[in-house]
Amino acid sequence: MKIIVRYLATEALTASLFVFTALMTLFALFDLINELDSLGKGGYGFWRILLYVTLSVPGHLYELLPVAALIGTLVALSRLVENSEFTIMLVSGLSMRRIAGYLMLIGLLFTALTLVFGEIIAPASERYAEQMKLKATNALVAQAFRSGLWVRDDHDFINVREVTPDGGLRDINVYSFDDQFRLQRIYRAASGEFVQGSVWHLKQIDETRFTASGISVAHTAESQWQSVLTPSIMNVLLVAPEKMSAMNLWEYIQHLHANNQPSKRYEIALWSKLIYPFAAPIMILLALPFAYHRPRAGSVSTRVFAGIMLGLGYHLFNRLFAYIGLLNDWPALMSAIVPTIGFLLLGIVLLRRVSRQ
């Protein structure tokens, strides 16, 4: 049995590696064509474009690992069926369920790879790629509003007009209110640099205070400022929620909850990050009923093509269902887990159908 498991694993991993290579080449080519529109802006030359495309590869790998595992396993199993090796395994005493169990164990390796890329490699590479591009093109981090970035910190409302790629702040405005939401202070700074913890070093500060006795204005050249605004929160501006690590998503969700702000999109992204790695064993389970066929069961290429379309359909449906859940305000866990559960049940049904034949 160990020999059979090793053989299945070798065949599936080898075929999946070729699929990974083909898909990554295709996606890297698309990224390269897309980035050529920015060629020549500032210092964004061809070599920086190649670096940006290279740094985007881990993000694509994370998204495509389950699909590539399905296609690779489909190709490997179809080859075994064509060479009658799969039939010999069944005749020697292996059942379809045991083979499915072995394949899902192999799928746990893809789960581990998905976790590594999704939690460690992809978020860091995506963030560095965006920072590098913004610096090279002399651009600023995109803002949610024309007036800049807005963040709530208890009774303070923070407005930052510009966020530089290295995490610096420009044109900072802090509006402080009391418990009855009466304006108490307006704090303005020309620029700010992060020091450590939750402390910022501000320059050229103008402070306006509103008291019962009147209005007072003070100017300070430099000052320390403690705020909930930290580089981890600023990273949200650089990387889409779906490409953030689960830890960063959790921290940002807690920040949004503390300030009574909507967090549904980030909650869906967090649950998706926790569930998505386990899609790889499910995709491999789906490969088995599509790869196995009998002489009168139809064309091999048609079945393989149907299996590939099913895998791509999972990837698209997973994204679509998350957006539908966000629009309809469904529970975050439901929006993230329903596609995966649905495809798992489909795989079990198809496997039982094949086993009865």
For the stretch 174-209, pLDDT in tens is 999 888 888 899 989 998 888 887 788 999 999 999
- Given this model, what pLDDT does residue 140 score? 55
Does the structure show a pLDDT above 50 at 142? Answer: no
Average the pLDDT over 66-86 and give the result.
85
For residue 77, what are its two tokens? 């199993």
Cβ count within 10 A of residue 233: 17
Name the amino acid, one letter, at 110.
F
Contact indicator for 235, 248 with CB cutoff of 8 Å: yes
% of the chain at pLDDT higher than 90: 15
C-alpha span between 206 and 229 (Å, rounded): 20
Which residues are bridge partners to 150 per DSSP?
A: 159
% of the chain at pLDDT higher than 70: 91
**Residue 235: burial class (beta carbons within 10 Å; 0-12, 13-18, 19+):** buried
C-alpha span between 43 and 41 (Å, rounded): 6
Does the structure show a pLDDT above 90 at 260? Answer: no
Does the structure show a pLDDT above 90 at 246? Answer: no
Confidence grade of residue 295 (pLDDT, cut at 50, 70, 90): very low
For CA atoms 113, 118, 119, 123, the dihedral sign is positive
Q: What is the largest CA-CA distance in the chain?
A: 94
- Given this model, what pLDDT does residue 245 score? 85
Average the pLDDT over 307-328 and give the result.
85
Lowest mean pLDDT segment, chosen from 68-82, 107-121, 134-148, 172-186: 134-148
C-alpha span between 118 and 17 (Å, rounded): 18
